[in-house]
Amino acid sequence: MGDIGKDTTIVKIDGANITRQELDNAVKNRADRLQQQGRKLDSAMLNSVPFKQTVLSEIIEQRLLAYEIKSLKLQVTPEALAKDLTQIPEIRSLYKDGQFDAARYKQLLASNQMTIDQFENGRRYELLSRQVLTSVLATGISSRKVAEKISQAFEVEREVQVLRFSPSDFISKVKPTPEELDAFYQANISAFQSPEMVDVELVLLVANAKDDPKDFAEKADLFANLAYEQPDSLKPVADRLKLIIQTVKGITRAGAKGLPADHPLNSPKLLASVFNSDAIKSRRNIEAQEISPGKIVVARVANHQAQTALPLSAVQAEVNKQVSIRLAGELASKSAQEKLESAKKSPQDAAGFSPAKLVSRNKPTDLNAQAMDAVMSLDVAQLPAVVSAPINGGGMAIYRVTKIQQPLKVDPKLRAEQAQQIAQLSAQAEGAIYFDSVRVNSGLKQVNQVK
């Protein structure tokens, strides 16, 4: 029969089940809350597996917290609960002259469809949950010394000189052979295609400001019926209603260039209709469509040109350009490698390198991520030293590191931001590790998939 029961177990935790019915109820409650918040709801989204999975994850997290509270034998004392309740303004107002109005307290909860036990048990759970989470997150690596060391690593400056080997500098030195051009064209033929195109005929019925709405509705019905009853041509409907047949050629799936914004073929619905396989094959009139209030169109495909590969002769210039760039990139990398080997043997030789500049993780200037990693990981036991890294757009660059130093001034604001980020990341990592162990200890098991 398959997995169709509402009581079907989805997840087991500590011997207890989370059923499909429980998940469905939670999903409905979440949807109700979103609606109360004024959020627009997409039924497809609410019924999607990712949305249900998010709600299930929240249920699992609550169950794991409950399991851990039970395992740690945590309790909330009456004094702690009372202190928590007085943080709620509505309950604090029930105290007068040191006396608590128990009758009004019960009445207040009843007006919110809750008993005293339901409300206070919920508050106890929240307090215990916060206690567990606070204990976990407090174990995160958030010491000032650690944050300070990481900030110092991001602040350390290295004085570098750069020598770039860009493909554009070598273009004039390469000349692709006919064999190289043909090989590239054959390997990349999918990139050299003429787009699928159609020529379309259409007639447009537009309401006149002077038209009586009823008269226009009758005319629109006649317009649609004529096009449907005589589907092989637009001439009958055009002649009968004295309309002009328009022809638009060279339309791709992306539309046609140069058409006015309000042109019918700028309608995504009509555009999709003319590229429908049946419309292309039959060449019959497409069902009348209202593209905007008072504008109705009927169209048909007059001609179709399938996507085809362009001959090499038609794309020779582009192929030559791309092959030349590739060959120039290879030559640039080869030249860079030769220079790197030479520079390693004679690091004191700065010929060809740019003027020196200071870079750091905090201030990389124009170095990309790969270049910064290479420069910062370079062994600086003996300076100057050289290292290479790819540059954006192809080619290679050689970086000559001549000095390392800490900056004269540090940015206290940036340090504070980094310390906060480090604390957050540490807490997240620690929390994830902790709850992984709770999952194992609780015997959490996925029995059936969310559907």
What percentage of the chain carries pLDDT values higher than 70? Answer: 89
Q: Is 252 within 8 Å of 265 (Cβ atoms)?
A: no
Confidence of residue 430 (pLDDT cuts 50, 70, 90): low
Q: What is the pLDDT of residues 32-79, one digit of tens each?
A: 887 777 776 666 777 788 888 888 888 887 787 777 777 777 777 888
Is a pLDDT exceeding 60 seen at residue 210? Answer: yes
What percentage of the chain carries pLDDT values higher than 90? Answer: 42
Instruction: Reduce the DSSP state of residue 370 to 3 states and report it.
Output: helix
Q: Is 295 exposed, middle or buried (0-12, 13-18, 19+ CB in 10 A)?
A: middle
Q: Is 84 exposed, middle or buried (0-12, 13-18, 19+ CB in 10 A)?
A: middle
- For the chain, what is the mean pLDDT? 85
Stretch 3-21: mean pLDDT: 76
How far from 121 is each of 66, 125, 126, 251, 255, CA to CA, in Å? 12, 6, 9, 67, 62
Q: What is the pLDDT of residues 270-298, one digit of tens each?
A: 999 999 999 999 999 999 999 988 999 99
Stretch 171-183: mean pLDDT: 95
What's the pLDDT at 3? 46
Alpha helices in 230-267 (DSSP H): 235-241
What's the pLDDT at 422? 65
Q: Which of 123, 175, 185 is closest to 312 using CA atoms?
A: 185
What's the pLDDT at 146? 60
CA distance 408 to 365: 18
CA distance 418 to 415: 5
Helices 116-137 and 412-441: crossing angle in degrees, nearest 10, is 120
CA distance 429 to 389: 32
Alpha helices in 300-411 (DSSP H): 316-345, 369-377
Six-digit token string for 209: 């400001």
Q: What is the pLDDT of residues 81-121, one digit of tens each?
A: 888 888 888 888 888 877 888 888 888 888 878 888 888 87
Confidence of residue 338 (pLDDT cuts 50, 70, 90): very high
Confidence of residue 153 (pLDDT cuts 50, 70, 90): confident
Angle at 300 between CA 295 and CA 305, to 5 degrees: 130
Q: What is the pLDDT of residues 353-377, one digit of tens each?
A: 999 999 988 888 889 888 988 888 8
Is a pLDDT exceeding 50 seen at residue 216? Answer: yes
Instruction: Reduce the DSSP state of residue 365 to 3 states and report it.
Output: coil
CA distance 85 to 79: 10
Of the ranges 80-94, 215-229, 411-425, which one carries the lowest mean pLDDT score?
A: 411-425
Q: Where are the domains of the chain?
A: 78-137, 157-174+318-405, 193-309
Instruction: Reduce the DSSP state of residue 18 to 3 states and report it.
Output: strand
- pTM equals 0.48
Q: Which of 87, 62, 60, 305 is closest to 197 using CA atoms?
A: 305
DSSP letter, residue 140: S
Is a pLDDT exceeding 80 seen at residue 132? Answer: no
- The count of residues in the chain is 451
Q: Which of 199, 205, 208, 214 is closest to 251 using CA atoms?
A: 199
What's the pLDDT at 209? 81
- Please indicate whether residue 242 or residue 415 has the higher confidence score (pLDDT): 242
Of the ranges 4-18, 357-371, 376-390, which one carries the lowest mean pLDDT score?
A: 4-18
